[in-house]
Amino acid sequence: MTHIIMNFYMNELPTYDSMILPTLEALQTLGGSGTNEEIYEKVVQLLNIPDDILEISHGSTSQSEVEYRLSWSRTYLKKYGLLENSSRGVWSLVSTPINLNDIDVKEIVRTVRDTDKSTEISISSVNDIKTLETLDTLEEEELSWHQQIHKKLLSLEPSAFERLTQRLLRESGFIQVQVTGKSGDGGIDGVGIARINGFLSFHVLFQCKRYQGSVTAGQIRDFRGAMQGRTDKGLFITTGRFTKDAVKEATRDGAPPIDLIDGEQLVQRLKKLGLGVKITMIESVEVDLDWFTKI
């Protein structure tokens, strides 16, 4: 009887190819990037997978069968060139504007299967989009790398900058990061949970602003006022700078602390995490001709 029930469950399990489109939709809903756990929760929600199916384990491992198959969905999308993942376990869309109606799942499966598994697959159209979005102008090439990034950050749409902040926090170890920015919310752009050493965690409200000038103490006070009663920790990220009074206000005794990240710190953080920045190591070789004469 148990064997029959298990076969029935296996027939009800979603296949890896049936979760390819939901994976893309989940990442779109999450703002273009997400951890394995966040993607899993969204796909389960989108497909309305019942609990008894989710409880089926993959063999003798602690991983569920749905998680196992979903990992293959991500792998196929990565090999096809639609997803990329970092060493910190965060997956992201290679190109954010994706029309799910244009995605042919059978084509993805067929292409990946017909290509050497060890070779990364890329789609010319996706690469073209990525190239167009990341090509620097001649003027930008004359700027230093951090100036180029800073200039690009200032040109982003507010929603794109919010998604970048969301990705930055996820890559930094935050979980359940959500962009909630809306008018009348006192400047709160999002919320996340910061983890410390995998044991302690606390909620953080964040505000992200594309400023070319300086953030004032008044803006810090307004942000703290919006935090009142919601959390004891805040994070203010800007492409600009903070005035001395703003820094003092952020760490004022008796008030909930607010961590500050200015434009330079933001750029350096992007570099450290490898977000939009690739570091190339150049090998220098020196020949000691005298060494050969001593043989």
Tens-digit pLDDT profile for residues 57-91: 776 555 678 988 999 999 999 999 999 988 677 89
- pLDDT-derived band of residue 1, with 50, 70 and 90 as boundaries? very low
pLDDT exceeds cutoff 80 at 221: yes
What residues form DSSP beta bridges with 207?
A: 236
List pLDDT tens digits, range 83-138. 998 867 789 998 877 889 999 999 999 999 887 444 443 333 334 433 333 333 33
Q: In a 3-state reduction of DSSP, which class is residue 235?
A: strand
List pLDDT tens digits, range 18-68. 999 999 999 999 999 988 888 988 999 999 998 888 878 776 555 678 988
Give all strands of the β-sheet with 234-238 in edge-to-edge order. Answer: 175-179, 190-196, 200-209, 234-238, 258-261
User: What is residue 121's predicted lDDT score, i.e. its pLDDT?
Assistant: 36
Question: Domains in the chain and their CATH numbers?
Answer: 2-130 (no CATH), 138-273 (3.40.1350.10)
For residues 282, 285, 286, 291, the Cα torsion angle rounded to the nearest 10 degrees is 160
Q: In a 3-state reduction of DSSP, which class is residue 295?
A: coil
What is the widest separation between alpha-carbon atoms in the chain?
83
pTM exceeding 0.85: no
Q: How far is CA 51 from CA 4, 9, 58, 229, in A?
A: 19, 11, 15, 35
Rounded distance, CA 207 to CA 217, Å?
A: 14
Rounded distance, CA 167 to CA 274, Å?
A: 12
Ranked by mean pLDDT, the top range of 11-15, 219-223, 288-292 is 219-223
User: What is residue 235's predicted lDDT score, i.e. its pLDDT?
Assistant: 94
